[in-house]
Amino acid sequence: MEPAAPPIGSPFDLRVGKSDGVDESDVRSALETGDWGFIHSFTTGSAVDGPGVRVVAWLSACQFRCVFCHNPDTWKMSNGTPVRLERAIEVVKQYRTSLRTMKGGLTISGGEPLMQYRFLSKLFPAIHQVGIHTTLETNGYFGERLSDADLASIDLVMLGLKAIDPDLHKRLTGMENKPAHDFARRLAARKHPVWIRYVVVPGWTDTMEEADRMAEFAASLGNVERVDVLPFHQMGRFKWEKLGMEYKMRDAQPPSRETISQVLSRFHAAGLNAV
Ligand code: SF4
Protein backbone atom coordinates (compact mmCIF):
# COMPACT_ATOMS: atom_id res chain seq x y z
CA MET A 1 0.00 0.00 0.00
CA GLU A 2 1.15 3.55 -0.73
CA PRO A 3 1.44 5.89 2.28
CA ALA A 4 -1.42 8.38 2.45
CA ALA A 5 -2.39 11.31 4.66
CA PRO A 6 -5.68 11.12 6.55
CA PRO A 7 -8.58 12.25 4.33
CA ILE A 8 -9.56 15.77 5.37
CA GLY A 9 -13.29 16.40 5.79
CA SER A 10 -16.33 15.99 7.95
CA PRO A 11 -17.76 12.57 8.87
CA PHE A 12 -20.93 13.84 7.19
CA ASP A 13 -19.19 13.70 3.81
CA LEU A 14 -20.28 10.52 2.04
CA ARG A 15 -17.25 8.33 1.43
CA VAL A 16 -17.33 4.93 -0.22
CA GLY A 17 -14.82 2.52 -1.69
CA LYS A 18 -11.68 4.41 -0.60
CA SER A 19 -9.71 1.20 -0.17
CA ASP A 20 -11.44 -0.91 -2.82
CA GLY A 21 -8.15 -1.33 -4.70
CA VAL A 22 -6.33 -2.62 -1.64
CA ASP A 23 -5.61 -6.32 -1.66
CA GLU A 24 -7.58 -8.39 0.87
CA SER A 25 -4.31 -9.78 2.32
CA ASP A 26 -3.04 -6.21 2.86
CA VAL A 27 -6.21 -5.35 4.78
CA ARG A 28 -5.78 -8.47 6.93
CA SER A 29 -2.15 -7.68 7.58
CA ALA A 30 -2.99 -4.04 8.44
CA LEU A 31 -5.51 -5.21 11.03
CA GLU A 32 -3.14 -7.81 12.45
CA THR A 33 -0.14 -5.50 12.82
CA GLY A 34 -1.82 -2.14 13.45
CA ASP A 35 0.74 -0.56 11.14
CA TRP A 36 -2.04 0.89 8.98
CA GLY A 37 -5.37 2.40 9.87
CA PHE A 38 -8.44 2.84 7.71
CA ILE A 39 -9.63 6.39 8.24
CA HIS A 40 -12.99 7.63 6.99
CA SER A 41 -12.42 11.31 7.72
CA PHE A 42 -10.14 13.64 9.62
CA THR A 43 -10.79 17.14 10.84
CA THR A 44 -9.29 19.85 13.03
CA GLY A 45 -10.97 22.45 15.22
CA SER A 46 -13.80 20.33 16.63
CA ALA A 47 -15.31 21.66 19.86
CA VAL A 48 -17.83 18.83 20.32
CA ASP A 49 -15.72 15.68 20.43
CA GLY A 50 -14.15 15.93 23.87
CA PRO A 51 -12.56 18.66 26.00
CA GLY A 52 -11.24 21.82 24.33
CA VAL A 53 -10.61 22.09 20.62
CA ARG A 54 -9.67 18.82 18.99
CA VAL A 55 -8.24 16.99 16.05
CA VAL A 56 -10.62 14.13 15.25
CA ALA A 57 -10.09 11.02 13.17
CA TRP A 58 -13.11 8.90 12.32
CA LEU A 59 -12.07 5.33 11.66
CA SER A 60 -14.01 3.09 9.33
CA ALA A 61 -15.84 -0.16 10.19
CA CYS A 62 -18.48 -0.79 12.81
CA GLN A 63 -20.10 -3.98 14.10
CA PHE A 64 -23.30 -2.18 15.17
CA ARG A 65 -26.15 -1.41 12.80
CA CYS A 66 -27.91 1.37 14.67
CA VAL A 67 -31.19 2.24 13.02
CA PHE A 68 -30.49 5.94 13.66
CA CYS A 69 -26.84 5.93 12.51
CA HIS A 70 -25.77 9.25 10.97
CA ASN A 71 -22.80 7.77 9.18
CA PRO A 72 -23.66 4.37 7.69
CA ASP A 73 -20.85 4.82 5.16
CA THR A 74 -18.42 4.30 8.06
CA TRP A 75 -19.68 0.73 8.58
CA LYS A 76 -17.41 -0.86 5.98
CA MET A 77 -13.63 -0.93 6.39
CA SER A 78 -13.30 -0.47 2.63
CA ASN A 79 -14.84 3.01 2.86
CA GLY A 80 -11.80 4.24 4.77
CA THR A 81 -8.54 5.50 3.28
CA PRO A 82 -5.56 3.37 4.34
CA VAL A 83 -3.11 5.56 6.29
CA ARG A 84 0.28 4.42 7.55
CA LEU A 85 0.69 4.62 11.35
CA GLU A 86 3.81 6.81 11.15
CA ARG A 87 2.03 9.23 8.83
CA ALA A 88 -0.96 9.47 11.18
CA ILE A 89 1.36 10.17 14.13
CA GLU A 90 3.30 12.77 12.16
CA VAL A 91 0.11 14.59 11.09
CA VAL A 92 -1.34 14.70 14.61
CA LYS A 93 1.97 15.87 16.12
CA GLN A 94 1.92 18.90 13.82
CA TYR A 95 -0.96 20.24 15.90
CA ARG A 96 0.68 19.67 19.28
CA THR A 97 1.28 23.33 20.19
CA SER A 98 -2.12 24.62 19.14
CA LEU A 99 -3.91 21.68 20.79
CA ARG A 100 -2.14 22.44 24.04
CA THR A 101 -3.04 26.16 23.77
CA MET A 102 -6.69 25.30 23.16
CA LYS A 103 -6.73 22.69 25.95
CA GLY A 104 -7.75 20.09 23.39
CA GLY A 105 -6.22 16.94 22.01
CA LEU A 106 -6.78 14.00 19.71
CA THR A 107 -10.11 12.17 19.53
CA ILE A 108 -10.45 8.89 17.71
CA SER A 109 -14.02 8.14 16.75
CA GLY A 110 -15.80 6.17 14.06
CA GLY A 111 -17.49 3.99 12.91
CA GLU A 112 -16.24 1.94 15.80
CA PRO A 113 -12.52 2.57 16.38
CA LEU A 114 -11.96 -0.61 18.36
CA MET A 115 -12.56 -2.59 15.17
CA GLN A 116 -8.96 -1.43 14.56
CA TYR A 117 -7.73 -1.76 18.13
CA ARG A 118 -4.19 -2.78 17.16
CA PHE A 119 -3.77 0.47 15.25
CA LEU A 120 -5.04 2.36 18.32
CA SER A 121 -2.74 0.41 20.60
CA LYS A 122 0.16 1.94 18.68
CA LEU A 123 -1.28 5.34 17.83
CA PHE A 124 -2.50 6.41 21.29
CA PRO A 125 0.80 5.80 23.18
CA ALA A 126 2.78 7.65 20.51
CA ILE A 127 0.48 10.67 20.79
CA HIS A 128 0.08 10.50 24.56
CA GLN A 129 3.80 10.42 25.22
CA VAL A 130 4.33 13.78 23.52
CA GLY A 131 1.83 15.36 25.89
CA ILE A 132 -1.27 15.45 23.68
CA HIS A 133 -4.56 14.64 25.46
CA THR A 134 -6.17 11.53 23.99
CA THR A 135 -9.82 10.54 23.77
CA LEU A 136 -11.44 7.39 22.47
CA GLU A 137 -15.07 7.54 21.40
CA THR A 138 -16.48 4.02 21.28
CA ASN A 139 -19.62 1.96 21.55
CA GLY A 140 -17.66 -0.16 24.05
CA TYR A 141 -18.45 -3.54 22.52
CA PHE A 142 -14.78 -4.44 22.01
CA GLY A 143 -13.55 -2.68 25.16
CA GLU A 144 -12.09 -5.95 26.44
CA ARG A 145 -9.63 -5.88 23.56
CA LEU A 146 -7.81 -2.96 25.18
CA SER A 147 -5.17 -3.93 27.69
CA ASP A 148 -4.63 -1.96 30.90
CA ALA A 149 -1.50 -0.54 29.27
CA ASP A 150 -3.57 0.61 26.29
CA LEU A 151 -6.02 2.30 28.63
CA ALA A 152 -3.17 4.13 30.35
CA SER A 153 -2.51 5.99 27.09
CA ILE A 154 -6.16 7.09 26.73
CA ASP A 155 -7.01 10.08 28.90
CA LEU A 156 -10.75 9.99 28.34
CA VAL A 157 -13.23 7.42 27.08
CA MET A 158 -16.41 8.73 25.51
CA LEU A 159 -18.72 5.77 25.78
CA GLY A 160 -21.76 5.73 23.52
CA LEU A 161 -24.38 3.75 25.43
CA LYS A 162 -27.32 3.25 23.11
CA ALA A 163 -29.90 1.67 25.43
CA ILE A 164 -30.07 -0.05 28.81
CA ASP A 165 -32.92 -2.45 28.10
CA PRO A 166 -31.23 -5.50 26.49
CA ASP A 167 -34.05 -6.22 24.01
CA LEU A 168 -34.35 -2.59 23.01
CA HIS A 169 -30.57 -2.41 22.49
CA LYS A 170 -30.59 -5.52 20.33
CA ARG A 171 -33.38 -4.17 18.14
CA LEU A 172 -31.80 -0.73 17.97
CA THR A 173 -28.22 -1.77 17.17
CA GLY A 174 -28.33 -5.44 16.16
CA MET A 175 -25.93 -6.29 19.02
CA GLU A 176 -26.03 -7.02 22.76
CA ASN A 177 -25.23 -4.34 25.29
CA LYS A 178 -23.57 -6.50 27.96
CA PRO A 179 -20.00 -6.14 26.58
CA ALA A 180 -20.31 -2.34 26.66
CA HIS A 181 -21.65 -2.45 30.20
CA ASP A 182 -18.82 -4.75 31.26
CA PHE A 183 -16.37 -2.27 29.75
CA ALA A 184 -18.08 0.59 31.60
CA ARG A 185 -17.70 -1.30 34.89
CA ARG A 186 -14.05 -2.07 34.15
CA LEU A 187 -13.38 1.62 33.53
CA ALA A 188 -15.24 2.44 36.74
CA ALA A 189 -13.09 0.02 38.73
CA ARG A 190 -10.01 1.80 37.32
CA LYS A 191 -11.54 5.23 38.06
CA HIS A 192 -10.91 6.04 34.43
CA PRO A 193 -12.47 9.34 33.27
CA VAL A 194 -15.58 8.66 31.19
CA TRP A 195 -18.14 10.75 29.37
CA ILE A 196 -21.31 8.93 28.39
CA ARG A 197 -23.06 9.78 25.15
CA TYR A 198 -26.74 9.00 24.94
CA VAL A 199 -28.72 9.61 21.76
CA VAL A 200 -32.41 10.34 22.27
CA VAL A 201 -34.01 8.46 19.39
CA PRO A 202 -37.72 9.12 18.85
CA GLY A 203 -39.81 6.00 19.30
CA TRP A 204 -36.81 4.11 20.70
CA THR A 205 -34.91 5.76 23.55
CA ASP A 206 -37.05 8.79 24.27
CA THR A 207 -39.02 7.24 27.14
CA MET A 208 -38.47 8.41 30.69
CA GLU A 209 -38.27 4.79 31.81
CA GLU A 210 -35.25 4.20 29.60
CA ALA A 211 -33.72 7.55 30.59
CA ASP A 212 -34.14 6.69 34.28
CA ARG A 213 -32.49 3.30 33.84
CA MET A 214 -29.62 4.83 31.88
CA ALA A 215 -29.17 7.53 34.52
CA GLU A 216 -29.21 4.94 37.30
CA PHE A 217 -26.56 2.85 35.55
CA ALA A 218 -24.36 5.87 34.78
CA ALA A 219 -24.61 7.17 38.36
CA SER A 220 -23.74 3.75 39.79
CA LEU A 221 -20.35 3.82 38.05
CA GLY A 222 -18.88 6.74 39.98
CA ASN A 223 -16.40 7.78 37.27
CA VAL A 224 -18.76 9.51 34.81
CA GLU A 225 -17.66 13.13 34.54
CA ARG A 226 -20.34 14.14 32.09
CA VAL A 227 -23.28 12.83 30.10
CA ASP A 228 -23.92 14.21 26.62
CA VAL A 229 -27.62 13.94 25.80
CA LEU A 230 -27.76 14.11 22.03
CA PRO A 231 -30.95 14.59 20.07
CA PHE A 232 -31.40 12.37 17.03
CA HIS A 233 -31.12 14.37 13.79
CA GLN A 234 -31.61 13.73 10.10
CA MET A 235 -28.18 14.81 8.80
CA GLY A 236 -27.34 11.25 7.80
CA ARG A 237 -30.53 10.56 5.87
CA PHE A 238 -29.02 11.32 2.46
CA LYS A 239 -26.34 8.69 3.08
CA TRP A 240 -28.86 5.91 3.65
CA GLU A 241 -30.61 6.95 0.45
CA LYS A 242 -27.40 7.19 -1.59
CA LEU A 243 -26.25 3.81 -0.29
CA GLY A 244 -29.62 2.30 -1.26
CA MET A 245 -30.27 1.11 2.29
CA GLU A 246 -33.63 0.97 4.04
CA TYR A 247 -33.76 3.81 6.55
CA LYS A 248 -36.29 3.10 9.28
CA MET A 249 -35.98 6.65 10.65
CA ARG A 250 -36.80 8.28 7.31
CA ASP A 251 -39.86 10.13 8.57
CA ALA A 252 -38.84 10.57 12.19
CA GLN A 253 -38.80 14.07 13.65
CA PRO A 254 -35.99 15.07 16.01
CA PRO A 255 -37.09 14.97 19.66
CA SER A 256 -38.68 18.14 21.01
CA ARG A 257 -36.83 20.51 23.35
CA GLU A 258 -39.23 19.46 26.04
CA THR A 259 -38.32 15.78 25.64
CA ILE A 260 -34.61 16.60 25.76
CA SER A 261 -35.08 18.72 28.83
CA GLN A 262 -37.05 15.93 30.54
CA VAL A 263 -34.31 13.41 29.73
CA LEU A 264 -31.68 15.83 31.04
CA SER A 265 -33.64 16.28 34.24
CA ARG A 266 -33.58 12.52 34.84
CA PHE A 267 -29.77 12.50 34.61
CA HIS A 268 -29.53 15.58 36.83
CA ALA A 269 -31.79 13.91 39.40
CA ALA A 270 -29.33 11.01 39.50
CA GLY A 271 -26.57 13.50 40.39
CA LEU A 272 -24.91 13.52 36.97
CA ASN A 273 -23.44 16.40 35.03
CA ALA A 274 -25.63 16.05 31.93
CA VAL A 275 -25.58 18.58 29.11
S1 SF4 B 1 -22.14 2.52 16.80
FE2 SF4 B 1 -22.05 4.57 15.85
S3 SF4 B 1 -21.16 4.22 13.80
FE4 SF4 B 1 -21.81 2.24 14.60
S5 SF4 B 1 -23.86 1.94 13.72
FE6 SF4 B 1 -24.10 2.85 15.76
S7 SF4 B 1 -24.20 5.05 15.45
FE8 SF4 B 1 -23.37 4.13 13.56
Radius of gyration from C-alpha coordinates of the chain: 18
Nearest CA to ligand 1 atom 2: 111
8 Å CB contact between 191 and 156: no
d(CA 130, ligand 1 centre) in Å: 30
Nearest CA to ligand 1 atom 8: 69
> How would you write 205-237 as a 3-class SS string?
CCCHHHHHHHHHHHHHHCCEEEEEEEECCCCCH
236 conformational bin, left if phi > 0, alpha if psi -120 to 50, beta if neither: alpha
d(CA 174, ligand 1 centre) in Å: 11
d(CA 217, ligand 1 centre) in Å: 21
The pLDDT assigned to 10 comes to 79
For the packed helices 208-221 and 257-269, what is the interaxial angle rounded to 10 degrees? 40
The pLDDT assigned to 15 comes to 78
Contacts of 7 (CB under 8 A, 6+ apart): 15, 18, 39, 40, 41, 42, 81
| Tens place of pLDDT per residue across the chain (275 aa) | 665 778 877 787 787 888 888 888 888 888 999 999 999 999 999 999 999 999 999 999 999 999 999 999 999 999 999 999 999 999 999 999 999 999 999 999 999 999 999 999 999 999 999 999 999 999 999 999 999 999 999 999 999 999 999 999 999 999 999 999 999 999 999 999 999 999 999 999 999 999 999 999 999 999 999 999 999 999 999 999 999 999 999 999 999 999 999 999 999 999 999 99
Nearest CA to ligand 1 atom 3: 111
The pLDDT assigned to 228 comes to 98
Query: pTM higher than 0.85, yes or no?
Result: yes
d(CA 166, ligand 1 centre) in Å: 17
The pLDDT assigned to 3 comes to 57
d(CA 94, CA 4): 16
